[in-house]
A and B are shown apart, each in its own frame.
Chain A
């Protein structure tokens, strides 16, 4: 590790006068936060499409009752890989990409604190996901035990490829941890003079807290997959009752990681929205301080609610009550955030460009996801919701219009700064409305399906679920195809968009808008002075 740390000594003088290297070497060996940020974003978009194709395979099979396209075994591989790829391959790297691009520009730093480690943490990812995806073509097939990989289905009863899966998860974990350390070091040590913690933009704040969460829980994930590896190959019995272990222990450790992980995927989106809403309301963010405290309390609470994913495993009454109350408590800081966003919009001077549209949709739809989350927190009714499509609807409502819309909003908002050109606003509005309609069509009916009794992760279903499943599949395909429009939009903006101004948005505030558009290869080589 010491070699990595040494690279951070400020010997970058020579960098200031040259641009990027030419050809492939630029991307392989780059230590520039903007290059790495772009690579993360492109990578995550590629993974988004791959995971999306898997989702569409699932939705195509579920379009009608009966087995038409895929066998149950392959269906299980699809649900598993869809979950893993979307969580670890699409959402998390996208936010790391945004962090790379934006954090140095927002705090007035020349680059990330540990640029070579930054390069390394990105380049691990293609190998991790290459490994994971290669299992699809191996004998026995890809992991088929769900993205939550409950033991013993994922240990004693797993296909042989589970070993590749474990190794892949380890690699992603290392990548995320390195990314998180980098973010923490950058934010704590490289802020421009005068940029106190409580003057930092909220995106930076949310990412700082996210990075702490990553450091706290990714090692626990690494631990749990290591235990699986030992159970599978070295004869230990962590999760096997016969040897004194316990399959429920797996769930406890997994969700100790898993619940903070949920917030890892949403907190940076909170940050993005907290940047965008004030800009397009032309009014400062309401309650900056309480926003910071709310994010911090959500992060802390996320460590003591994990067993609400396990209400049906047979916990004692006191356990159920504790986790129910703790989970309900999360609604308070989350509510505060929503109220603050709305108070920011209230009596503002609103305009609705694409970033604002996605942000407003974020607030509305994430709140709906929050409501279903509150319902799920109520342990007695959770016995009816648990592991049904109601849960699927809930987490897709917080992840698609939450995390994914947050990412879209961020890309539209900062793309002019990144590439120097405006995107096509009319097309972007199409992208928004088609995504909005497609997404709601795909996921809203799932609430009904779940309440009516359709379990999740089934390749075929009883006849009374047929209509809503068809609607949902139509919505999913609409949403999926619309994302190709997004790809076109981004390429069009980069190649032949209208030239953007430095300020880009009328109401935008922050250091990143003080530098030229497109942002030069090296920015803030001399730190700016923050009042």
Chain B
């Protein structure tokens, strides 16, 4: 970490440092981003900012002149004037002209953002409490992206890594130089999907679909966050995109499709309890631990404990039912459409054997498939 003292300097020197290119490094100003739109937004932002600075200098200049020159302690005698229609009209009209000058570039930028021309990649983004789901329309690629920062870093028992809170298990891979359309919706409450480098921020609203688009100019990893309060873990659902060359993107799509096929193959195999526990722990940590906690103790009453619970040590089918179909009217989601059958089997096995639940049950992917087809 850089010295803290160093960071005080810009505060003292503002706003002159605000616009210097170097300032981006210290997180002082809006990013220029990596798209034409984000560049226009940045330019617009700076234009308005400098206009405000200019107005501020004039207005506060007059004010401080008075404060310094027209003090009673300096023997200033108050003038008597208190009205002037001409002046009032002048300082009504001048701001109007300035505003029109501001509205012009704002309008053109906005129209640019609302472009509806044909896109080449369509990604449907669904906000869940508290993760994002990405479906690449027409390719069959469909996955969830969870924050991957370990709890130990959040609770200060481990050193925080560079991308603390801004890292995910599955990055969204997108091609550069192609128009990408985002279709944004939500599964439960309102979320908002934001990537500052693209100047794309759109609310994800349950039952409704929103759209936005981008065309990325430079390869790189771009990070954003959910920006609409969506409950407990609102602060822990980052967005991470990796923009790559078109060819690499094509390969990635193929690899993803292959991976899905392999996953389906896995469902036919059987695993030992140890293998299941290992896989189950990973699935549990990303999907379940936010509410039920890593130690299975939950946060009663909203999020019940799994350790020693009647569900986790009772009837297996009931347990599968709850995880697959959720519990209506509670925060327990239906994971049947979210987890693969292999992961589902592993996490249920984990929950039945961790924290001294020790049932010894080994639930297989086949059990899940059978349950779903029952």
Contact = CB atoms under 8 A, between A and B. Distances in A.
Smallest CB-CB A-B distances: 4 pairs: A241-B207, A458-B235, A452-B27, A314-B210
A131 interface: no
B130 to A, nearest CB: 10
Contacts of A388: 227
B51 to A, nearest CB: 9
Nearest to B109: A380
A66 B233 CA distance: 13
B226 interface: yes
Interface stretch (B40-48, B173-181, B267-275): B40-48
Given A66-B154, A321-B110, A374 B52 contact: yes
Contacts of B230: 153
Interface in B319-356: 331
A459 B62 contact: no
B83 A288 contact: yes
A452 B8 CA distance: 16
Interface in B177-231: 188-190, 192, 194, 196, 199-203, 205-208, 210-211, 224-231
A2 interface: no
B106 A378 contact: yes
Contact of A345 (B30, B40, B63): B63
Most buried by B among A375, A462, A468: A462
A33 to B, nearest CB: 30
Interface in A301-351: 312-314, 317, 320-321, 324-325, 328-329, 331-332, 335-336, 338-339, 342-351
Contacts of A73: 232, 299
Interface of A: 65-68, 71-73, 76, 139-140, 144-146, 150, 152-153, 156-157, 159, 241-242, 246-248, 281-290, 312-314, 317, 320-321, 324-325, 328-329, 331-332, 335-336, 338-339, 342-351, 360, 363-364, 367-368, 371, 374-375, 378-381, 383-384, 386-388, 444-445, 448-449, 451-453, 455-468, 470-471
Given A284-B82, A458-B234, A335 B95 contact: yes
A381 B48 contact: yes
B83 A331 contact: no
B176 to A, nearest CB: 21
A381 B229 contact: no
A488 B136 CA distance: 63
Given A312-B203, A345-B70, A375-B48, A463 B160 contact: yes
Contacts of A378: 44-45, 48, 102, 106
B301 interface: yes
B78 interface: yes
A383 B184 CA distance: 15
B82 A328 contact: no
A288 B82 CA distance: 8
Given A146-B229, A383-B41, 6 more contacts: A140-B301, A290-B88, A312-B201, A314-B205, A386-B227, A451-B28
A283 B78 contact: yes
B229 A286 contact: no
B41 A348 contact: no
A348 B75 CA distance: 11
B7 interface: yes
Interface stretch (B117-125, B161-169, B307-315, B357-365): B161-169
B208 to A, nearest CB: 7
A204 to B, nearest CB: 18
10 contacts: A144-B232, A159-B302, A313-B205, A314-B211, A325-B103, A345-B70, A349-B70, A448-B29, A452-B30, A453-B27
Contacts of A457: 229, 234-235
Nearest to A451: B30
A480 to B, nearest CB: 20
B66 A345 contact: yes
Nearest to B6: A467
